[in-house]
Amino acid sequence: MARVSIITDLHQTRELEDWLKNRGFKPRVIHGNEDVLENIEVNGARMVILLVSNYILANNLARMIKQEKPQPVLMLVPGEKLKDIKLPIEADDFAVYPAFTDEFYLRLCRLLPGNGYNGDSDKIDCGALVIDPVSCEAHLYGELLELTFREYELLKFLASNRGRTFTREALLNRVWGYEYFGGDRTVDVHVRRLRTKLVDLEKPYIETVRNIGYRFRKQDQ
C-alpha cells in the first residue's frame, strides 16, 4: 500500500482520501500551516499530492518540495482555476480536480517510483555507491546519503551515463529541465555538494573535464 501525502489548505478532503484508500493508497493529510517537508518525511510518503486553492502558492510549494525531497509531486488544479496556470509547472504532473477518473488513477500510478517515472527502475551499481530509482535513494558503503532532489537527480543521471561527458548547459537541460533559467554555476554548486557527501574528493565519482563539464568516472577505483 503506497503512502501518499496530501498537502492542502482545504478543510474537506474526505472524498479524495476515500477514493485513494479504495484504490490501494494510504493517504495522510498535511494542512498548509504545518511543516510540510518534515511531515512528508515522517509520513514516509512515496509521492505527494498538492491540493491548494492558490495556484501560485501550489507552484511554490511544488518547487520547494522538488528541491529538497526525492518524492514525485502531482498537483490537483480545480477546473475553474485552469485559466490561472502559467508555465512552468513545477510539479511532475497535474490533474483537474475534482475528477476521480481512470486517467487520474493512471497519472498517480505512473509517478510512483518503479512504475515508469524517471525511466529505469533497476539499481545503478557503482561499487560502493548504489543508486536505487525505485526508492529514490542512494547508499554509499551501505549508508543512506542525505541528498536533495536535485542532488539525487544529478547523481543518478551522471551515474546512468558513466564515462560520458556533459557540458553544464546539457546537465541543466537534462536534470533541471528546459524551463530552468538560472545560471550554469548552479551545476558547479551541486557537484561540489555531491562530492562532499560522497567523501570522494581525492578520487571523485564525478570528474571534472576541463573546459567542458563533468562526467561520472568510467570504472570503480
Assess whether 134 and 46 both reside in one domain.
no
Q: What is the pLDDT of residue 176?
A: 77
Percent helix, strand and coil across the chain, each to the nearest 5? 35, 25, 40
CATH value at residue 133 = 1.10.10.10
Assess whether 106 and 131 both reside in one domain.
no
Number of domains in the chain: 2
Q: What is the pLDDT of residue 167?
A: 92
Assess whether 88 and 150 both reside in one domain.
no
Note down the domain range covering 182.
124-216
In a domain, 188, yes or no: yes
- pLDDT in tens for each of the 221 residues of the chain? 678 889 888 878 888 888 888 888 888 888 866 677 777 766 678 889 998 888 888 888 888 888 777 788 999 887 777 777 777 778 888 888 877 777 788 888 888 765 544 433 467 888 888 888 767 788 888 888 988 888 888 999 899 888 899 998 888 888 876 555 556 688 999 999 999 898 865 678 899 999 899 999 886 54
Assess whether 13 and 67 both reside in one domain.
yes
Assess whether 64 and 135 both reside in one domain.
no
- One-letter amino acid for residue 171 of the chain: L
The model carries a pTM of 0.52
**Nearest 5°: phi and psi at 3?**
-80, 135
